[in-house]
Structure formats: C-alpha cells, structure tokens
Amino acid sequence: MALVRPGEGDAPEHPVAPWDDLQMTYAEDLPELVLWWQGDEVPRPELAVLNEDLAAELDMSVEALRSDDGVGILSGSRAIEGTGSAALAYAGHQFGQYSPRLGDGRALLLGELVGPDGRRLDLHLKGSGRTPFARGGDGKATIGPMLREYVIAEAMHALGVPTTRSLSVCTTGESIPRDRVEPGAVLARTAASHIRVGTFEYAVRVGGDELVRRLADYSIVRHHPLAAQEQEPYRAFLAAVVEAQAALISRWMLIGFVHGVMNTDNMTISGESIDYGPCAFVDRYDPDTVFSSIDHGGRYRFGNQPSVALWNLSRLAETLLGLLSDDEEEAVEVATAELRRFPELYELQWRTGLAAKIGFGSAPVDGPLLEDLLEVMKADGLDWTSTFRLLADELRQADEQLVSVSTGEPILDWKARWIEALEAEGRPLREAADAMDAVNPLYIPRNHLVHEALEAANEDDLAPFGELVERVTHPFTPVPGADRHAAPAPEEFASVFRTFCGT
C-alpha cells in the first residue's frame, strides 16, 4: 500500500468499499503511539443501523457496506485484507487525576479514508473486543450506548457542531452482562482524527520532546496547517487548538449540551466533540446541571465546561513546553499567553451566539439583557431549547399581546426591554423572529426520547430510534404531528435522569 502523506491524498473517483483505499499515515509516522490489534470474532454480526447519508457524502458504496464482508468489517470481526487495525495509545487526566496509560481498551482504528473533498478521516470501531489497553474492562459495548452515541453525534452534526460522525451500529449476537444483560454491539464512526490532549500526555511521557515534536508536526499538517507557516509553529499550533476548543465549547453551551466526562483523553486536537458516553442535553436551564452518575463533585456540570476546557488545554500546553522555547521560563510565558486568550475567545462567541438566539443576528447586545435572560430562565426553570422558539413565536404577535412563557412576572419585564432593544436596532420583529428560528432548534435528542428509543431498541424495536434520528438530523424543520419531539421532558423524568460511563 502506497503511503500518501496527510493532506496529499487523492480522492477516489467512484463509490468504493471504505476498506479499499484505507491508509495508516498515523501509524506509519508515530509507531510508538499505536498497537496493531485485531477485533474479536463475533457469533452473528448484523447491521442494525447504517448512515447512508454519510456513506454517500464520503462516496462509500452502500452495497459494499451492507455485504457480508462489509458487516464483518464494521463489526470488527473480519480483518481487512492487506492492512491491519490498531489500538491507539493515550494517557489522560480523569476527573483531574493523571492516568499514565489509558488507550483504546475496546476500540480500533481501521485506517484513514480520504473523502471526495480531500479530507482525511479516521474510520474507527468501538466495542470490538479487549485490547492490551483494556485494564479491567471486557472490551465490549452494548446496543443502547452505541445507538446513543450514534444519534447524539448525528444530532450534533446537524446542529452545526464539529463532531465525530456515526457510520453504523452492528449487533454481534452476543449477550453482554451490564446492570442487566444487553445485546452486544459495535459502533463504526469517522473522525477528523483521534488525536487527543491525552495523546500528547502519553507522548511526552514515553518519548519526551522528540516524540511530542513528531506528534505536533503530524497534527499541524492534518488539522492546523496554517501553523506551519508561522515563525513559531508550535506556539501557533497551541493557539489553533485553543481557538478550535473555544469555538467548540461555545457551541455546546448554546445548544445546552453537557459532555459529562471531559477528561483530557476525551478532548480532541482537531476541535471535534468526541466520545458520547454520559452526555445529555439540559432541559430546564441551570448551569449546575449534572447528569453523570459518577460526577459526584459536579466537575463536569453544564456551566463549568468552559473552565474545564481551559484546564485541559493547560495540560496540553505543558506537554509542548519543550517545543515552545529552550528557556523554561520563557516557554511557560508563551504558553500562558496563548491560554489566556481562551476566556476572551469563548466569551465573544458565546455572547454573539446568544445574541443571535434572541434575534440580533450578528449585532452586539449592550448592557445586561443577555445576563438578565439567563437569570430569568434559571429562576423560572425554563426549558433551554423550546424557550427560544416560544420567544420567536411571541415576537410575531408582539403588537397584540405578550404571553408569558411560564407564569413569572419578571420575563414580561425582560420581554419589554428585549423588544425595545430590537426596535432600537431597527430590526423588524418578524424578521428577527425568522432569524431566531433559523438558529434555535426545535428537535434535539431530548433525554426522555433517547431513553425511550433505546429501551425499545433493547427489545428489538428500532422504529422509535429511526424516528428520533430523522427528527434530530433536521432540527430546524417543523414536522406536523411531531410536537412530542419538540416538547420538554415530563417533570418527573427530568428530575431523576442519570447517565452512565463505559457501558
């Protein structure tokens, strides 16, 4: 197999089986960071879901994916002829504690594909069996959590958030013991790459500055090529990752997404969201929202995500110090200067995004209007997603009557000030309302709907899951009769909802 350097790949000319043209430039350049490994053979691999839209986008042959060979490969149980698969090594800070060796305990990189647009993507499996990185785990995954990752990643993509994508979920014919026994499953996903903050933490430990330099060089070519043209390319690389993460986290906050396990091994260098385990969307707005059953201290609570991102980026910066300057003190100064830009970059995008959500387009909003809205929403316990659609509806009838979203007085006062501010901007209210609807989703993977769809899937009924995927992959388009998918969770569900890791 000819090795094509990152970024130089020629796109295939026709729909192909994804394994025909797989490359392994990461393993070729960074052999210290991979462990060649084969997935488990499984008794009865069957395709449960295939993302034909993604396959088409990447010019993959759906026929080949659906074939016995295809299902064998997507379930990890058949080796790809001529190439190998690899478990990736990484370290990471988990809930603030350093683990020197994590790595893909139940996942494998099948290789890199180059899409029609020349973009290089990893094709990666999760749930394909134990690897030497597995520690105590069984290497397996079950249908519920894999469908969960499938639908949330696709919803995130439809909401405009950089993310890994879901290609397929296969069942394996195994019964896997969890809280209860569940059908075994394997997810296939694509990603800009699987290079994480934790990959740099691993590299600096096992190979020092020399290996970190090669990893950074590879990451620059693949993700942040402009950094190569700068006088200080490694500083520019750190700056680019800081920027990508500030953009990502502000997107999360604007759609009410709680990742749930923002360990450094779950933060990418590309700026894509990755690893949808105990994640969930907030219903009632509250920055203190925590869903994960193991996040006792609330480290990864909704409102803490920007601070945690900066904490994680600081761990990345530490691994780069030897590349930033020969003088340690100067290296720390450079790193600190780049990290200091995060809060400002984040805040700007968050405020701009929030302003757009209430009809200001890209115009800045002066004064405390945004903060006051958040305060009212928190005090009234308003649903994060639907409130913005309701506000747009009310704007359309603002001349007639202002109807309170809930019963609270304060929002009436806030609404009056909001409308005044829009009018002062010279924005026709109907236009503002339409602009709001274009950025505020109707359909997100609401926790109670995801729960319901996965329970049905466990009983072999994939219909609710299919409907949910259809809604959340077209999040802005009202569908007659789909009110249930837009409605907030029933109160009794919202207050008890919990999510789980590593299942």
Using alpha carbons only, give the angle 267, 268, 269 rounded to the nearest 5 degrees: 130
For 145, phi then psi, to 5°, come to -60, -30
CB of 133 to ligand AMP, least distance (A): 6
DSSP annotation of 264? G
Q: Could you say whether residue 266 binds Mg ion (CB under 5 A)?
A: yes
Piece of the chain touching ligand AMP by CB under 6 A; list 117-125, 137-145, 431-439, 454-462: 137-145
* Segment 99 to 128, residues that bind ligand AMP, using CB under 6 A: 102-107
Point out the catalytic residue in the list 40, 265, 275, 380: 265
Q: Which of 57, 138, 318, 434 binds ligand AMP (CB under 6 A)?
A: 138
Q: How far apart are CA 268 and CA 277, in angstroms?
A: 15
Spatial distance between the Cα atoms of 372 and 410, rounded to a whole number of angstroms: 10
- Tell me: does residue 134 bind ligand AMP (CB under 6 A): yes
- Burial of 262 (C-beta count, 10 Å sphere; 0-12/13-18/19+): buried
User: Which residue, 122 or 275, has its beta carbon nearer to Mg ion?
Assistant: 275
In terms of Cβ atoms closer than 10 Å to its own Cβ (0-12, 13-18, 19+), residue 483 is exposed
For ligand AMP, the closer CB: 135 or 430: 135
Shortest Cβ 104–ligand AMP spacing (Å): 5
Find out whether 282 and 445 touch, Cβ atoms under 8 Å.
Answer: no
Give the three-class secondary structure for 64: helix
Q: In this chain, which residue has its C-beta nearest to Mg ion? A: 275
Q: Does the footprint of Mg ion cover residue 275 (CB under 5 A)?
A: yes
Site string for ligand AMP, 246-275 (x = CB under 6 A): ---------------x----x--------x
Residue among 78, 93, 140, 157 that touches ligand AMP (CB under 6 A): 140
Residue from 116, 137, 364, 490 binding ligand AMP (CB under 6 A): 137
Q: How far is the CB of 278 from ligand AMP (least distance, A)?
A: 8
Is 502 a binder of ligand AMP (CB under 6 A)? Answer: yes
Name the nearest CA neighbour of 388 among 409, 399, 374, 407: 374
Our CB check for Mg ion shows the closer of 266 and 499 to be 266
- Stretch of residues binding Mg ion (CB under 5 A), selected from 25-33, 162-170, 271-279, 357-365: 271-279
Q: Per CB under 6 A, does 277 bind ligand AMP? A: yes
CA distance 356 to 364: 9
Active site residue 265: yes
Supply the DSSP string of 195-249, one letter for each residue.
Answer: -BHHHHHHHHHHHHHHHHHHHHHHHHHHH-GGGGGSSSHHHHHHHHHHHHHHHHH
Residue 47 touches which of ligand AMP, Mg ion, none (CB < 5 to 8 A by kind)?
none
Q: Which is nearer to ligand AMP, 140 or 222 (CB)?
A: 140
- Report how far residue 197's alpha carbon sits from residue 245's, in angstroms, rounded to the nearest whole number: 11
Sign of CA dihedral 142, 155, 376, 369: positive
Beta bridge partners of 125: 108, 188
Nearer to Mg ion, 129 or 475 (CB): 129
Contact positions vs Mg ion (CB under 5 A) = 266, 275
User: Rule CB under 6 A: which residues touch ligand AMP?
Assistant: 102-107, 133-134, 137-140, 261, 266, 275, 277, 501-502
Catalytic center residues: 265
